[in-house]
Copies of this chain bind each other. A is one copy, B any other.
Amino acid sequence: MSLPARTAAIIAVGSELLTASRTDTNSLQITGALNAAGIEVAFKAIVGDDRDELGAMCRQAMARVPLVIFTGGLGPTDDDLTREVVAEVLGLALHEDAAVMAAIRARFEARGLRMPEANRRQAAVPAGAHVLANPNGTAPGLWISAGDHGLLLMPGPPREMRPMLAHAMEAWVTPRWGGQRLRRRELRIAGRTESRVEEIAQPLYSTWVSSPLPIETTILAGPGVIELHLSVRSPDEAAADQVLADAVAALSARFPDDLVSDDGRSLEQVVGDDLRARGYRIAFAESCTGGLATSRLTDVPGSSAYLDRSVVAYSNESKIDLLGVGEDLLRAHGAVSEPVAAAMAEGVRARAGVEIAVGITGIAGPGGGTPEKPVGTVAIAVAGPAGTVVRTCRFVGGRGLIKTFAAGTAIDMVRRYLRGAAPDLDWAARPSK
């Protein structure tokens, strides 16, 4: 059977990694190093300190990929099994390596300690394996070449694992398995559902897949913002970058107003940069989002340069007092309505004396919905030098999700306003008046 070239599996070993509170993070560094060398990760696994499970997963990985990378289970105690199990799966005898033994002993002596007998285990090396020095701990790493396979065994503590990974990549992995460089672009699209993005982008995907330098795409749907990750693998970085630039241009043309960024910037960063470029200041009048829109905008360092103020007006009285919303308006249309959202935005804009202002009023639920205005109904207004734009959206989900969607949509409506684009959103209940 021939294994797919330039693919790897990562196996993290340790029962503590199978509890409800711990997660493996070594695999992220390892993935980064592998990807940079043009090697893809076929799968990752987390196995406890269990001889059978570890052996089964080792066999499974060797059946699927040429390169298998282990972290953890190289310590001195009885439940550290990686060394033994891998030797057993490969049918290799273990012998005590004198040089490793001496290094471990020296490490203890340097601290004025006698080496505990248990640490002898760490000097056991499978026949033919190469020992990888560990400047930050007693457990040496191991590199084993076995037929078509390469197996890398590294300790679990990140500060011991990292330098060893760098060395092993350079000495063993990249020369034999390294391939084409992976180039990537990240696009963010707002105001569209995931399936709408798919529908529009699908015709492009199909041309990309069949091109000489095929583009791989991944779609990640967050509440209100969709991420498209494009990647190309090629020995020629300039050619890969050109293919990606063309793809980004083609996508931009299909989402002219919806494309938030093609350089990894978040929606909040983009809006902040746009405000700063124009020398504009912004203010918010929030009701159902309870301050979340403002809080998200202020997650960006330096946002004090453009955020003037925000008012969370939950009660009708506070809408009247703080924002100058007319009592008659509230009575005629209800607090959740486009006229009130517009009055909130215009009220805070006039009082703060800023260029751009946002008004948000809606029903986050779970209570308070009516047949005409169900839970998830949110009116959002942006007021600015070009007048006031307002939309009513219908969001679906629990209270937290509705708040998140509404805050993100409000920030996206500011982005569209600043670019002179109409807020044509998939969740707008109807085109604006």
What is A's interface to B at a CB cutoff of 8 Å? 15-16, 18-21, 23-25, 27-29, 31-32, 35, 40-50, 53, 56-57, 60, 63-64, 75-77, 79, 107, 110-113, 116-119, 135-136, 157, 159, 193-196, 198-199, 218-221, 229, 284, 286, 289-295, 297-299, 301-304, 307-315, 317-318, 321-322, 351-352, 364-367, 374, 394-401, 403, 426-427, 429-430
Q: Which of B48, B312, B315 contacts A43 (CB 8 A)?
A: B48
Closest to A323 in B: B309
Residues of B within 8 A of A75 (CB): 194, 221
Residues of B within 8 A of A27 (CB): 23
Min distance, Cβ A279 to any Cβ of chain B, angstroms: 15
A111-B396, A290-B310, A304-B314 given; 8 more Cβ-contact pairs under 8 Å: A16-B229, A20-B218, A43-B53, A56-B60, A77-B219, A112-B430, A290-B295, A291-B293
Q: Which of B63, B112, B374, B430 contacts A394 (CB 8 A)?
A: B112
Q: Is the CB of A403 within 8 A of B299?
A: yes
Q: Which of B45, B116, B313 contacts A44 (CB 8 A)?
A: B45
Given contacts A314-B304, A314-B308, A430-B112, contact A18 B41 (CB under 8 A): yes
Closest to A288 in B: B298
Given contacts A24-B23, A119-B195, A292-B291, contact A111 B394 (CB under 8 A): yes
Q: Is the CB of A309 within 8 A of B314?
A: yes
Residues of B within 8 A of A295 (CB): 289-292, 295, 403
Min distance, Cβ A393 to any Cβ of chain B, angstroms: 8
Given contacts A20-B218, A159-B398, A194-B76, contact A294 B312 (CB under 8 A): yes
Residues of B within 8 A of A21 (CB): 28, 218, 220
Contacts A/B (CB < 8 Å), 14 sampled: A19-B35, A21-B220, A23-B25, A41-B48, A43-B48, A76-B194, A111-B395, A118-B199, A290-B295, A292-B295, A299-B403, A303-B314, A307-B312, A321-B351
Compute how far the CA of A289 lies from the CA of B315 in the bound complex, rounded to whole angstroms: 22
Min distance, Cβ A93 to any Cβ of chain B, angstroms: 25
